């Protein structure tokens, strides 16, 4: 995005989202040396720096990056995220939430659609999202999935269906990546069918250990907690369902996403674990079906 266009986008986005803690992002050269007279500039490196828009004196260095690293500013990411959702109204007009993490180093954008769909006996709401970072920590990515409404008091668990990601290199085409989100959302009904099928895939006691070992993003200690965790709205745990020989793949998916959503307190860790788990579970469920 050209600088002139970005300034227009930034002003318009900040006006519509006044409560988001926006940061002004810029770069500085990197120098080294023991004394000021010995300082030399490090070629091919620069510091990515953020200042809160509300407090320009509170400068933060997010990282030291290569000159091959492409910065995607938070307002540009949100602008493209919104554009990727234009015209997609099959599940109603979405509510968009923007979150800044680690003082603006990482950003998430989520769109929750209002229409409730029944999938595998559960009420779900479709959702889509985008991730971006300024500290080298995350690739630029988007995903779609659903929120499970898992009990009467409104408690939810997020399920990610598919994700597309790219490294922050100079050839990163953020516009092209946002268009892939549009394509993915058009396949949401197919993903609902996959989740429906999971509800019919039994996990036998003899299969459970092999199945869980395929989910490498879950540590053994977490696995023990997940197996013992009472499922919201039901009271039974994964261990209970295994003993009754009535555990299915969707039940276990519910248990893990419930654990990540409500038991993992650090937001960045939760986001990263959820994304890794989503792809691992899809592969494990395919093996189960085979």
pLDDT at 14 over 90: yes
Contacts by residues 278-284 (CB-CB < 8 Å, ≥ 24 positions apart): 278/143, 278/145, 278/159, 278/160, 278/161, 278/162, 278/163, 279/163, 280/214, 280/215, 280/216, 280/217, 281/215, 281/253, 281/256, 282/194, 283/214, 284/211, 284/214, 284/215
Q: Give the separation between CA 29 and CA 48, rounded to whole angstroms.
A: 9
Q: Where are the domains positioned within the chain?
A: 74-197, 200-289
Q: How far apart are CA 277 and CA 260, in angstroms?
A: 10
pLDDT at res. 58: 82
Quick check: 158 and 273 in contact, CB under 8 A? Answer: no
pLDDT 10s digits, 170-211: 777 777 766 777 776 777 777 788 888 888 888 888 888 888
What pLDDT shows up at residue 133?
Answer: 93
Q: Which CATH code for domain 74-197?
A: 3.90.1150
- pLDDT (tens digit, 9 = 90+) per residue, 268-280? 766 777 667 777 8
């Amino acid at each position: 995005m050209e600088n002139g266009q970005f300034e227009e986008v930034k002003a318009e986005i900040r006006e519509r989202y006044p409560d988001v803690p926006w940061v002004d992002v810029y770069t500085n050269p990197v120098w080294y040396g023991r004394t000021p007279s010995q300082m030399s500039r490090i070629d091919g490196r620069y510091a990515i720096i953020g200042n809160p828009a509300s407090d320009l004196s509170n400068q933060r260095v997010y990282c030291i990056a290569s000159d091959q690293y492409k910065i995607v500013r938070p307002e540009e990411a949100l602008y493209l995220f919104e554009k990727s959702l234009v015209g997609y109204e099959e599940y109603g007009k979405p509510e968009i939430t923007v979150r800044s993490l680690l003082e603006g180093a990482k950003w998430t954008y989520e769109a929750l659609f209002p229409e409730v769909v029944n999938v595998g006996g559960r009420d779900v709401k479709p959702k889509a999202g985008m991730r971006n970072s300024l500290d080298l920590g995350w690739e630029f990515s988007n995903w779609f999935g659903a929120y499970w409404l898992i009990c009467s008091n409104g408690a939810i668990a997020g399920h990610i269906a598919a994700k597309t990601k790219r490294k922050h290199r100079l050839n990163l085409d953020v516009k092209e990546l946002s268009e892939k989100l549009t394509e993915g959302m058009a396949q949401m009904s197919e993903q609902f069918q996959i989740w429906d099928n999971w509800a019919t895939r039994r996990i036998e006691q003899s299969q459970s250990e092999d199945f869980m070992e395929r989910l490498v993003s879950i540590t053994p200690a977490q696995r023990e907690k997940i197996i013992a965790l009472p499922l919201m709205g039901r009271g039974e745990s994964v261990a209970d369902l295994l003993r009754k020989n009535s555990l299915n793949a969707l039940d276990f998916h519910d248990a893990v996403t419930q654990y990540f959503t409500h038991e993992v307190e650090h937001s960045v860790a939760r986001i990263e674990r959820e994304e890794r788990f989503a792809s691992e579970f899809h592969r494990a469920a395919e093996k189960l079906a085979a």
